[in-house]
Structure 1
Amino acid sequence: MLWKHNNRANLAVQSILQILEHEGLNPAVCLKNTGIQVHEIMAPDTEISDYLEIKILEQALAALPGKAGYGIESGETLHVNNCGVWGLAILTSPNVRSAFETASRFSEMSIMLSKITLTETQDQVIFSLDLAHLPPSIHSFIFERYYGTTLNFFREMIPEYDFSHAELVVPAHHSEYTQQLAAITNHRVSCSTSGYAIKASKTLLDYPFPKADSVIHAHFIRECEQVLRSHKQLPDNAQKIRNYILNKKVFTPRLPDVASSLYMSERTLKRRLQEEGHTFSEIVLDTKMTLAKELLLTAALPVKVVAVRLDYSEPASFIRAFGKWWGVSPTEIKATDIPVKFLQPAS
């Protein structure tokens, strides 16, 4: 099977499918109940959300033999220069410290599913992963993948730097896993109650990149800022709910189902939405009405068809909701009449 490069999330999932294939397993096993076929992963216009990637990972790891190394194998296929403008901003950074700051600042644009925190001691730098929001079954894989991608990056950017003295930190796993990881990486692996981390000499932070270009770096930073501005139409959790609705095409979603897909309790999701100044029902209605407008104007679908598509039991209910939201009936709306509404963060 030929695996081509395309979008960042697709690259990550492609690497998972490759691993399954190498282990003699059907790659489709990890796509069960995702609505995605193997051939669609190859298509550049196939979008894979975070929650879908997490589900694919869970199902893949459940099918694979339990051992260390799959995440490293995946990470070694991922290169920063395949990560669009985010990767270019990192690659043109003046040194490791700047590269890390850039990667963290624009982490939403990356393949990472976790936030990375940098801590400096007198002689060490510690890169810690925040995995609390992810299911425990994929923690080791995500850590290994981050390690593999990081190793690739240093090999390409500063091949002369000696990374052999780095130390990997994992939670109190079974000793067999720790031994396997140490054998694969040739690094010391220690256990800690604080979670997953990579420790290295503090001198690494200020190690210069030989091909750094401050002018080009500044350009790509501006590009990253523009990308984030154009995509942040909704507050963070509101956008995740909208993505759930549109990806799954479930226009009457249940709060427990959405909360579960985001790996949080109903109470936590409600609290976070309240902090953003919105409610679950408001976001659902906003999504449905925005899509309804697009279906009427762009797709030119009849009102009855749009009503059915959006899970309304009868057209009259849809017409009432649409009129209350937009101020005109579905048959009266015109593209030039009304600007698209967007929920805004609480002030």
Structure 2
Amino acid sequence: MAANTHHTVAIAQVTQILQGAVQRGLDVNALLQRAGISPSLIDSPLSRVTQGQYAALMLVLRRVTRDELWGLCSRPLKLGSFVQSARMLVHCRTLGEVLTEGFQFYHLMLDDFVPRLQVSQGVATVRLTHRVALTPQLAYAQRTFGFYSYGLACWLVARRIPLLDVIYPETDTQYKTDAGRLFQAPLRFERDSMGFRFEASWLDLPVVQTPQSLTEFLRQAPASLIIKYRDQTSLTERIRRLLRRSLAQELPSLEDVGHALAMTPQTLRRRLRDEGQGYQAIKDDLRRDVAIEYLGRPELTLLDIANRLGFSEASTFHRAFKAWTGVSPGAYRQTHF
């Protein structure tokens, strides 16, 4: 059994990225089906899709809308903009140059919001400020631009840049869970801006990628940006890897996990709380993500999957999966295929 399990993507992310297509009157059901996503999942607010399905949807929307921000802004972001910027930025010397020159490039391409790098008192702040009224479509475009700017920057310097915090507009408090998981950093809310902060010393990191490595990176994008720089050393990820090896049996208690990681239960709880997590939520999320992974394998019966997840009966697994996603495992499998 693989030690790692990819996190799944909330259906709310799917409905948000579709906002531009909806506004244009496009056939959303057809777009979802082209990405391998059942349209019926949209009606279940707890349902989730795989990272591969979400990446496929981004590519489908990009082709149909002829827009690298999927019709979310007032003017399309021309196809090829990301590739052109990446080919330019791979020749920069440092992370600071990457952010400065990259944002200058996008100043010419974007009308609705502007990205800026500010440095003050040893802290670097990337801030996205909207130039027009902040609609739900524009808010999602800004959040996505911020995340992919961060992902590309991490790739260019070949390491995850630790963030001090992530800044979201006060109107976006409902997305705090997703943001925390994507950026793996604390959130704070301000009135009118979005961005993230990190120690300014990281701006001196050298760019280590080359035009040759860029070719492979672009071949795998956007999927590579979704998962590449998740912090595998975070306590949450360490626990997920530990539990993944024990899914078929009774999962270890919090005390057992603490012993395996050389921590007291009190320290474990505190550190998980600092990451915005709880032990029960980690167990449930892991089982849900693995279940979705297994449901994509037609050779496994529902009973096989239940046993692999440590459920003694298929009916118990059925109830748990429906509680996690809002649909039964059988119905999910039917929509998946």
For Structure 1 versus Structure 2, the TM-score category normalised by the shorter chain is 0.3 to 0.5
TM-score normalised per structure 2? 0.40
Higher CA-based Rg? 1
Structure 1-normalised TM-score? Answer: 0.39
